[in-house]
Structure 1
Amino acid sequence: MKEKNIILVARVLSAVFTPFYLSFVGMTVLFTFSYLSQMPWGYKLSVLAMVYFFTILMPTLLIKLYRNYHGWTLIQLSRKERRVVPYLLSIVSYYACFYVMRLYNIPHFMGNILMAALVIQIVCSLINVWWKVSTHTAAIGGVVGALLAFSFIFMFNPISWLCLTLVLAGLVGTSRIILRQHTLSQVIAGFGVGVVIAFAVILGL
């Protein structure tokens, strides 16, 4: 019974902290710590809704349709050679969001978050050709990198948020190992990829 409960918690963590939430969390951080916090609530909610649609809802539904079309379970889809199309679907979704944001002249800080998330997806998909890397930990690593970058840009103390994010990163990484989706090295590598790319892209390095 105890083992079943641990597996259930791991599944919930994996489902809640999907690889697609980086942009949404990044936008929320911007609307909290930057000058963008002064913008009207209606504007902020409309941007968050758009980001949610393109970077979370759209890729999730497309990947689910793809999985159902082939009749695969989540475990079967996680095989390295079957992850190429899901990566492409998510990359297209992220680029569509980036394009719409540019079309409506949304501030460049927001575009940088989308670009960071897009680059993380592309790098992970390229790594996946040779080696299976964790996109779950890459996403939460991206949150850490974004927090560090924005703390430099907007001069705020990120320690409390970093502590919370690092705890969540440990929980998410552990859940992926418990579910036998990734090894420890794949989890750590994904986290490192996310941190470095998000930090570099947002700071424009």
Structure 2
Amino acid sequence: MGAEPLETLMKLAVVGFVFIYTFALPAYFVYLLKRWGMISSLKLENLKDRRLPYFVTALIYNALGYFLYSKNSMLFPCGFVLWSIAAVILCVGIISLWWQISAHAAGVGGMIGALAGILVQFGEHSLFFPLLFLIILAGYVISARLALNAHTPAQVGAGFLLGLGLSLASIYVLF
């Protein structure tokens, strides 16, 4: 009974830590780039403006993944998942040097790949309905990108397959 508040506090600390590394730091970096005149808009509408944020975000995710991995705790597997996310972001950044690929589709593909891989690899059947929800959400996200003429079918297809493939491969190879 005495450990429950501590466990809750630890969970909140981990969520806060992950929020800082996965949202706050990358967002602040984009703000700094805009302030320094290195990008034209905070919306990152130009492909050229997205390149540096992709690489820095991948670096930040790698750092967080290493931190979680090095603590050798229950968060150890989260480090591998973050490395797989960083790999997807890095690949999107590299591909975007030559061709526009959908980062949104890569993101939803990566989430589906990670959940599907964990479900199959570890028999976590409780992930079935969240996976089903993500598949439906992916349909909406990809349809929206196409409806907005933000991407071609090839760009969203390539992004989705990149995220799905890298995440699935990461789960199977690393676990």
| Structure 1 residue 42, shift from structure 2 partner | 2.6
TM-score with structure 2 setting the length: 0.83
Deviations 1:156-193 (A, max 9, x none): 33432222101111111222233333222211211111
| Structure 1 residue 73, shift from structure 2 partner | 2.9
Q: Secondary structure at the match of 1:40?
A: helix
Counterpart of 1:136 in structure 2 is 104
Aligned partners of 2:66 and 2:79 also within 8 Å: no
Is 170-179 or 135-144 further displaced after alignment? 170-179
Identify the structure with bigger relative contact order (alpha carbons < 8 Å, sequence gap 6+).
Answer: 1
Aligned partners of 2:117 and 2:168 also within 8 Å: yes
Which whole-Å CA distance do the structure 2 matches of 1:64 and 1:161 have between them?
33
Structure 1 segments of 4+ aligned residues over 6 angstroms from their partners: none
Structure 1 segments unaligned to the other structure (5+ residues) = 1-38
Q: Secondary structure at the match of 1:204?
A: helix
| Structure 1 residue 197, shift from structure 2 partner | 0.6
Structure 2 segments unaligned to the other structure (5+ residues) = 1-5
Residues 1:123 and 2:91 are matched in the alignment: yes
Which whole-Å CA distance do the structure 1 matches of 2:78 and 2:11 have between them?
11
Counterpart of 1:90 in structure 2 is 57
Counterpart of 2:131 in structure 1 is 162
TM-score with structure 1 setting the length: 0.72
Aligned length: 166
CA RMSD, 1 decimal: 2.2
Which whole-Å CA distance do the structure 2 matches of 1:67 and 1:183 have between them?
28
Counterpart of 2:3 in structure 1 is none
| Structure 1 residue 51, shift from structure 2 partner | 1.2
Which whole-Å CA distance do the structure 1 matches of 2:83 and 2:171 have between them?
8
Counterpart of 1:31 in structure 2 is none
Counterpart of 1:187 in structure 2 is 156
